[in-house]
Amino acid sequence: MTTATLQAEPQPVARVARTYLNERTTIASWLLTTDHKRIALLYMVSITLFFLIGGAAATLMRLELLTPQGDLVASDTYNKLFTIHGVVMVWFFLIPSIPTVLGNFLLPMMIGARDVAFPKINLASWYLFMGGGAFAVFSILSGGVDTGWTFYTPYSSTYANGHVIAMATGIFIAGFGSIATGLNFIVTTHKMRAPGMTWMKLPLFVWSLYTTSIILVLATPVLAITLALMALERAFGVGIFNPSLGGDPLLFQHLFWFYSHPAVYIMILPGMGVVSELITCFARKKIFGYQFVAAASVAIAVLGFLVWGHHMFVSSQSIYAGMIFSVLSFMVAIPSAIKVFNWTATLYKGSISFHTPMLYALGFIGLFTIGGLTGLFLASLAVDVHVHDTYFVIAHFHYIMVGGMVMAYLGALHFWWPKITGRMYPEWLAKLAALSIFAGFNLTFFPQFILGYLGMPRRYHVYAPEFQVLNVLSTAGASILALGYFLPLGYLLWSWKYGKIAGPNPWRATGLEWTTPSPPPKDNFDTTPIVTEGPYEYDPRATEAELRAAHA
């Protein structure tokens, strides 16, 4: 293993280099920074906090579900827990995760720019995010909300108790933060590329951020207006969605899913981008079918807008609409398939090493495939009638969102950690964490597929006793998972101070971001780079030859 590592010699640091971290150190210099790298770190800290809130809610939920009776918390509390969990995990953790942390940090560097196009708007987006977060936390602390993350009317607008309006306001505001980020990324990708950085030379991570941003910009405003209408209905009895005032509750669902289905691709595309980077780097091979992988991102972003009705197969929408949405849902799976197959093909004849980021990437492919394939079950009309709103759906999306996206996020953090901090994380501890997360994850969520087909509905605080065994397994897995998540939290912090010095390019990866010192200086590049090569000029044979030479 030691011989297999290809880390460059740590560079002796003669004098303290000027980096974006030590350039200025006052608190104000952080809170008022317009440097994309610092904003990325602000986001990193914030979403970690939100992940802990969402994770704490999940922990309590899993504990409650150990027994079929509701003995740990009351029904209302349980309902608030899954609402908090869903809202926080989706809008305050997973949607911002890779785009705002790694996207902010890397996008300008990857295309050879000094910053994003609108640095002040970038900072503003963080404040919007935190403002929205403040509303959400307020509504949690002052009693919570019990509508589920989907806020279906007329329950949310008329019958629910709790601070629905505060929560909706929080999401509304945070949504504008998302829009600002998306707008920034789109313009940055279009206008800030270094000379020679053509579209066909863009790293696939940039492609994925770009397509994600398109969704952010075109879908989020619909969520904003939908939640605003719901809040108005709740506050003033405006009857848009209220059947007793002549409204149609399904209109809310149409509007909500018009946003929320594309939003699931906001949650997976950046992960796919990360995996494309990791697979190539650790297999030392050019990606197989670059153009197809890039085009698949675009296809997912566009087709993703055409399938929202698959969440409404049994909602009493027209059966003909159901059929259209079903066939389109199958079609949106094709670009995902293209990606999976191309990643697999990339491994062929590579020179593969298994550092922690690669473990996460491989985990992503496996778990995303399972999650995606079960999405096909859900897209099949007759089967969805049975499994809709059961734990089958819960398992489906956790496989993609936790097994896929959270893995990709952790993989990306480990991969770019040396760039962000200038330090290496401890490899063995990190591998241990990756493996326990993988094992814990499967133990938590695999049983839920079975539970779902058995018919256990979701959002159930008490359940039929015959479901208990599988639930106990799931809770056991969740404990392992929780421990697995705490490890990186600890050792990454530790390594910031005590980790090995990493040097500019510990992975010997291609990509402009690796041509800068670690951590990078404030303006990233001394001179604007000129790009002549494609993004993945790796050569597995050269790597092998070097390795043999080192041995001899």
Partner 1 sequence: MPEIALAPVEHQFENAEQQREAATMGMWVFLATEALFFGGMFLGYTAYRTYYPEAFAEASRHTLVAFGSINTAVLLISSTVMAFAVRAARMNRRGLLSILLLVTASLGTAFLVIKGFEYAREISEGLLPGPKFHIETSDPVHAEMFFYLYWLMTGVHALHVTIGVALIGFFALRAWLFDAFRDHDTPIDLLGLYWHFVDVVWVFLFPLIYLAGRHS
Partner 2 sequence: MRTFFNSLFPPQASNLAPKVDAIYFALLGLCGFVALLVCLAILFFCVRYRRGSGADRTPPKWRQRPFELAWTITPFFIFLGLFFWAAEVFFGMSRPPRNATEIYIVGKQWMWKIQHPDGRREINELHIPIGQPVKLIMTSEDVIHDFFIPGFRNKQDVVPGRYTTEWFTPTKAGSYHLFCAQYCGTNHSRMVGNIYVMEPAEHAKWLAGQPAPDSLIAAGERAFRNRGCSGCHAPNAAIRAPLLDGIYGKQVPLSDSSLVTADDQYLRNSILLPNKQIAAGYEPIMPTFQGQIDEQELNAIIAYLKSLWEGDVR
Partner 3 sequence: MNEMHPTPRTYIINCVALLALLGLTIAAAYLNLGPFNTVVAMLISLAKGGLIALFFMHLRYSKPLIWIFAGAGVFWLGIMLVLALGDYLTRGWR
Tell which positions 322-341 bind partner 3, by CB under 8 A: 324-325
Minimum CB separation from ligand HEA for residue 266, in Å? 8
For residues 223 and 204, give the distance between their C-alpha atoms in angstroms, rounded to a whole number. Answer: 28
Q: Is residue 472 close enough to count as binding ligand HEA by CB under 6 A?
A: no
* Least distance between partner 2 and beta carbon 362 (Å): 6
Decide: 303 and 352 in contact? Cβ < 8 Å: no
Residues 47, 369, 332, CA angle at the centre, nearest 5°?
A: 90
Residues 57-116 that bind ligand HEA (CB under 6 A): 58-59, 61-62, 82-83, 85-86, 89-90, 94
- Residue 218 in the binding site for partner 1 (CB under 8 A): yes
Helix, strand or coil, per DSSP, at residue 72: coil
Among 373, 473, 476, 487, binds partner 2 (CB under 8 A): 373
**Both tokens of residue 383?**
């089967």
Interacting residues toward Cu ion by CB under 5 A: 261
x-marked contacts with partner 2 along 415-454 as a string, rule CB under 8 A: -----------------------------------x--xx
Q: Which stretch binds ligand HEA (CB under 6 A): 156-164, 223-231, 232-240, 332-340?
A: 332-340
CB of 367 to partner 3, least distance (A): 30
**CA geometry: angle 451, 454, 457, nearest 5 deg:** 70
Q: What are phi and psi of 324, to 5 degrees?
A: -60, -50
Nearest approach, Cβ of residue 347 and ligand HEA (Å):
15
Q: How far is CA 478 from CA 62, 267, 390, 467, 484, in A?
A: 7, 21, 19, 17, 10
H or E stretch at 222? helix 204-236
Binding status of residue 305 toward ligand HEA by CB under 6 A:
no
366 makes contact, choosing from partner 2, partner 3, Cu ion, none, with CB < 5 to 8 Å by partner type, with partner 2
DSSP secondary structure letter of residue 118: -
* Whether 300 contacts 346, CB under 8 Å: no
CA distance 505 to 73: 50
Q: Say how far apart CA 330 and CA 394 lie, in whole Å.
A: 19
Residue 414 binds partner 3, judged by CB under 8 A: no
Burial class (CB in 10 A: 0-12, 13-18, 19+), 49: middle
Which residue number, 18 or 541, has a Cβ lying nearer to partner 2? 541
Would you tell me how many other CB atoms lie within 10 Å of the CB of residue 159? 11
Q: Could you say which residues in the range 257-286 bind partner 3, by CB under 8 A?
A: 258
Q: Which of 469, 483, 493, 530 binds partner 2 (CB under 8 A)?
A: 469
Q: 155 touches which of partner 3, Cu ion, partner 2, none (CB within 5 to 8 A by kind)?
A: partner 2
Contact residues: partner 1, CB under 8 A? 108, 113-121, 179, 183-184, 186-187, 190-192, 217-222, 224-226, 229, 232, 236-240, 245-248, 251, 254-255, 523, 528
